[in-house]
Structure 1
């Protein structure tokens, strides 16, 4: 049985005591307990310009939705510290019909039963017993154990371990060749159960719109019982399966890792007394973030190098530098990457207003590399021109259509018509089938993503393009798996 315990943060001694009590009861009763430290519901009262991204911690709770939790225990009083009752209610209702107990009283929700002045570690015991009874309809009882005192020596031990991991973060750059070294160093620092997951790509999470947890993640580090487990680092896993596939048994803590508006990934760590130091949890998160960011920055550098090489090849073939530093693609006569973004920003500024919809599309010529390799670049150029003609036919002259990379096109259109994207998807499917049938020498195959966005003052072109690009990556993955 899997139970989620939703808390604010470990800097609160009462919260630590409650988690320690819940951990002891869960282990005794054979419950997999997952602790979610998500800090606080952001309101006008506690929002700070000094830390405008404090709301990002709450994104950790979104990993609950599709995962298999049998019950939830929520410390709503602390999570909703400054929030009005309606916000607290809304927070709890988002988990749907999952069996749920609150630590403190809130009308309309069932509360953990305990007497006044009950110690917090005992409340943790009771919470686990009562959520199990609620789920199974059988009264259960855990063996009581006292919580040992946390000594000065314990604090020194925790500090030395986090210092060792901080040093590791500065020494290792999380390149694939360095994974074995990282495993060894983390184990040496005393972390016996530790897993790090990367999202498919950094995901925008805004206070107004929230975010959507990507379907796929990649596990890049696993330490199990003090030893590195071997696994295929190139294999993606469904994010909803992270708890099912976790090697960490017993009670665990999950933390999301973010910077600014971007969610990067998460880590899971086996629960231990170290949380009592208060700063332990945040320090570990900061260290993991530095490593994950380095991983993404390295990937972006590789992508940029590949794009530069591609541009150099095109310039060498075409011999016209001016076409590449201008705003037009020499081959299709469409705007190039620079020209597309210039025209797209102008279009949004002029036409994207209340009551309007922006349709954004990414189109990938999935077969271009094979066409070039087998039939030559002249035939590849012909295929590119044919796709450009199709896009102008499908999207029309009111849209901005550009060739942003050798095999990628982007389109943006502002319209009064709601659900215009669906109409365009149908037409693109028709044209794609036509394109596949019209050439007997090779397949000119397109993978495309078309997304529609309601007007919002805060919605940026970057966010729209990112969501559309993420959708296209999923399409590519499905094509590969299919």
Structure 2
């Protein structure tokens, strides 16, 4: 039985007491309790310009949708403290038909029943008992306990543990072997249960459009009961299964880590006494975030070095530096990377405005390396030119189409037709099948991503290309898994 407890944050004593009561009852009744500290509902009307990315915290609630929760307990009054009643109702409706209990009255939803004399700790007990009754139809009772005092020595110990983690983030190199050091440092700091997950690439989460929970993530740090698990082969897993696959026993807390509007990953940690230090979890998030940021920066450095090496190889093979300095690809006569970006910026500046849509496509010649290796570069060049011809057929003359790497093409088109991307996907699928059939010596296989973007004044070419590229990488990974 899995139950979610949606709260604001642990810096409030009432919230801490509620969670401790729910934790004790859940353990006693055999319930897997997951706590979601999402701070609160942020809207355009209660947006805080001094903290423009505070809305990122509420994205943690989105992990509930597909994660197999049997019921939810929602502290809606605190979560929706600065939101109108319609926003509160909309927030609750997003969870569909899952059994839900709220801690305060909301039209259309059942409330946890308690007396004014009940403490928040006791309300935590009652919440678990009553959500189980709502789920199963059976009345259950947990053994009552008293919330023990938290001494000054306990608080100092917790603060020291956080302080001892202060230098570990700088050790987060983009090499898996270095995780041994990180695991050791976390364990030395007294953290018994912690699992850290990374998204493949940072993902934008905006206040206007929100975000979609990535389908895949990878667990890079695994510490259970004070022991680190050796991860020899870090694999991506379905994000919806993170709670099924978690080995942390008892109550868990899940937190997102982000920088500005980009989500980097998340972590799951065991619930314990540490949360009584008001900003304990925020401090831990900051430390984990800095480590993940360093990881991604070093990953970008490695990727850039690989790209430079690839460019050097292409220049050496082509024998023409001018092709790479100029704006035109020597082989296809399309714009090269430099030419594509120059023309794409000009197109957006002149044509992308209110009422129009930008369609961005990435096309990857997935089999080009095999064609070059088996049939020679002349045959590879022929395959590249054939793909360029197809792109000219699929996309309009007003589009900008370029060969941005040896085996990659990019296209941008501005149109006033909504859903034009879907038409282009259908045509690309038809042309891709035709391409596969027309050569008996080898497969000239394309993987492509075509995304459509509504006009927004703040939307940049970089953001559109990044989202399209991320989508292409997901498609590559899915083909690999398949």
Q: Is TM (by shorter chain) over 0.5?
A: yes
* Deviation for aligned residue 1:49: 2.2
* 8 Å Cα contact 1:218/1:233 also seen in 2: no
Give the whole-Å Cα distance in 2 for the aligned partners of 1:448 and 1:381.
19
Deviation at 1:430, TM superposition (A): 1.9
Q: Distance in 1 between matches of 2:45 and 2:68?
A: 34
Give the secondary structure class of the aligned counterpart of 1:330. Answer: coil
Q: Which residue of 1 aligns with 2:337?
A: 337
Q: Choose 199-208 or 350-359, whichever is displaced more.
A: 350-359
User: What's the counterpart of residue 355 of structure 2?
Assistant: 355
Partner of 1:69: 69
C-alpha separation in 2, matches of 1:99 and 1:132: 9
Structure 1 residues 243-262: Cα deviation after superposition (integer angstroms, max 9, x where no partner) = 00001011010000000110
Q: Which residue of 1 aligns with 2:33?
A: 33
Look up the match of 1:123. Answer: 123
Asked if 2 retains the 8 angstrom alpha-carbon contact of 1:174 and 1:291, the reply is no
Shift of 1:350: 1.9
Shift, 1:231, TM fit:
4.1
1:447 Cα deviation (Å)?
0.7
CA distance in 1, matches of 2:188, 2:359: 52
Q: 1:427 to 1:220 in 2, by over 3 A?
A: same
1:416 aligns with 2:416: yes
In structure 2, what is the equivalent of residue 90 of structure 1?
Answer: 90
Contact between 2:174 and 2:296, CA under 8 Å: does it hold in 1?
Answer: no
Q: Do residues 371 (structure 1) and 365 (structure 2) align?
A: no
- Residue deviations 1:233-283, cap 9 Å, x none? 431100000000001011010000000110000000000010000111001
Give me the TM-score of the superposition, normalised by structure 1: 0.97
> In 2 relative to 1, CA 64–391 (structure 1 residues): closer, same or farther, beyond 3 Å?
same
Q: Residue 307 of structure 2 corresponds to which residue in structure 1?
A: 307
Distance (whole Å) between structure 1 residues aligned to residue 215 and residue 47 of structure 2: 30
SS at match of 1:283: helix
| Residues 34-53 of structure 1 aligned to structure 2 (within 5 Å) | 34-43=34-43, 46-53=46-53
State the 1:318 CA deviation: 2.1
Aligned residue for 1:136?
A: 136
**Which residue of structure 2 aligns with residue 323 of structure 1?**
323
Contact 1:365 1:447 in 2 (8 A): yes
Once the 2 structures are TM-superposed, how far is the Cα of residue 116 of structure 1 from its aligned partner? 1.2
For the 8 Å contact 2:171–2:182, the answer to whether it is kept is: no
Q: CA RMSD in A?
A: 1.5
State the SS of the aligned residue for 2:218.
Answer: strand
1:286 aligns with 2:282: no
1-structure distance, mates of 2:342, 2:76: 47
Q: C-alpha offsets along residues 193-228 of structure 1, whole Å, 9 cap, x if unaligned?
A: 100001121100000000111100000010011111
d(CA) in 1 for partners of 2:368, 2:299: 23
Do 2:38 and 2:58's aligned partners in 1 also have CA atoms closer than 8 Å? yes
Deviations 1:379-432 (A, max 9, x none): 222211111111111113111101111111111111222322222222212221
1:44 Cα deviation from its structure 2 partner: 5.1
2:266 alignment partner in structure 1: 266
Give unpaired runs (5+ residues) of structure 2.
none
Between 1:117-126 and 1:205-214, the stretch displaced more is 117-126
- The yes-or-no answer on 1:406 pairing with 2:406 is yes
Contact kept in structure 2, 1:335 and 1:403, CA below 8 Å: yes
- Of the structure 1 ranges 144-153 and 425-434, higher mean CA displacement relative to structure 2 is found in 425-434
Report what 1:167 is aligned to: 167
TM-score (norm 2): 0.97
Question: Matches of 1:134 and 1:463 in 2, distance apart?
Answer: 45
Moved more, 137-146 or 425-434: 425-434
Moved more, 168-177 or 264-273: 168-177
Q: 2:277, 2:443 → 1: CA distance?
A: 61
Asked if the contact 2:32/2:250 (under 8 Å) is kept, the reply is yes
Question: Per-residue deviation at 1:114?
Answer: 0.8
How far apart are the structure 1 equivalents of 2:84 and 2:275? 29
Encode CA deviations 1:61-105: one digit per residue, 9 max, x unaligned.
110001000011111111111111111111111111111111122
* Matched residue, 2:10: 10
CA gap of 1:472–1:172, structure 2 versus 1, over 3 A, is closer
1:190-269 maps to which residues of 2 (within 5 A)?
190-269=190-269
Contact 1:174–1:182 (CA<8 Å) still a contact in 2? no
SS at match of 1:362: strand
Distance 2:289 2:174 in 1: 11
Report the Cα distance in structure 2 between the residues aligned to 1:108 and 1:479, rounded to whole angstroms.
44
Q: Which residue of 2 aligns with 1:435?
A: 435
SS, match of residue 240 in structure 2: helix
Partner of 1:60: 60
Aligned to 2:473: 473
Aligned: 1:157 with 2:157: yes
Q: Deviations over 1:163-219 (max 9, x none)?
A: 112232234436311112222221111111100001121100000000111100000
Distance across 2 between alignment mates of 1:331 and 1:305: 24
Q: Which runs of 5+ in 1 are unaligned?
A: none
CA deviations 1:289-328 (Å, max 9, x no partner) are 1111122122211111111011111111223223212322
Distance 2:425 2:169 in 1: 46
